[in-house]
């Protein structure tokens, strides 16, 4: 049985386990997908760094049960990790002057690069 706020949602050919209501948008904690050519499923997760990032299991049901048990056992740590994820990033927009300077600098670099490329690829006189 999954703790509250965890939901399985379709993802590619498999399923993804998402944690809702901890961040403004759902965070994917784990997912599984069938192995190419059959023969089992590949389970991926990235919330706990001490666990391997993937594991191969025989069936989709086994992968689902494994992830549900993992989420139940490590619920508090998963929620803490998801809540802290992305806190170090600044989303403040730059000032208008900084944005204009960066745009003109990038435009100058692109024009210079194109001109340099054009002169190097043309045959000489």
Residue 42 pairs in a beta bridge with: 33, 56
**DSSP per-residue letters across 23-89:** SSS-EEEEEEEEPTTSS-EEEEE-S-TTS-SEEEES-HHHHHHHHHHHHHHTHHHHHHHHHHTTTT-
- Tell which wins on pLDDT, 48 or 97: 97
d(CA 38, CA 56): 12
Tell me the pLDDT tens digit for each residue of 28-70: 888 888 888 878 888 887 665 545 678 888 988 988 898 899 8
How far, CA to CA in Å, does 101 sit from each of 17, 95, 96, 104?
43, 10, 9, 5
Residue 17 pLDDT greater than 70, yes or no: yes
């Amino acid at each position: 049985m999954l703790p509250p706020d965890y939901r399985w949602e379709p993802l590619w050919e498999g399923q993804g386990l998402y944690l809702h209501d901890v961040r403004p948008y759902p965070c994917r904690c784990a997912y599984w997908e069938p192995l190419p050519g059959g023969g089992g499923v590949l389970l991926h997760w990235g919330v706990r760094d001490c666990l391997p990032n993937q594991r191969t299991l025989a069936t989709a049901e086994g992968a689902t049960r494994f992830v549900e048990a993992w989420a139940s056992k490590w619920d508090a740590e998963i929620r803490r990790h998801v809540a802290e994820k992305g806190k170090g990033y600044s989303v403040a927009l730059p000032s208008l002057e900084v944005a204009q300077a960066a745009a003109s600098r990038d435009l100058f670099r692109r024009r210079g690069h194109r001109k340099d490329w054009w002169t190097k690829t043309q045959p000489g006189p």
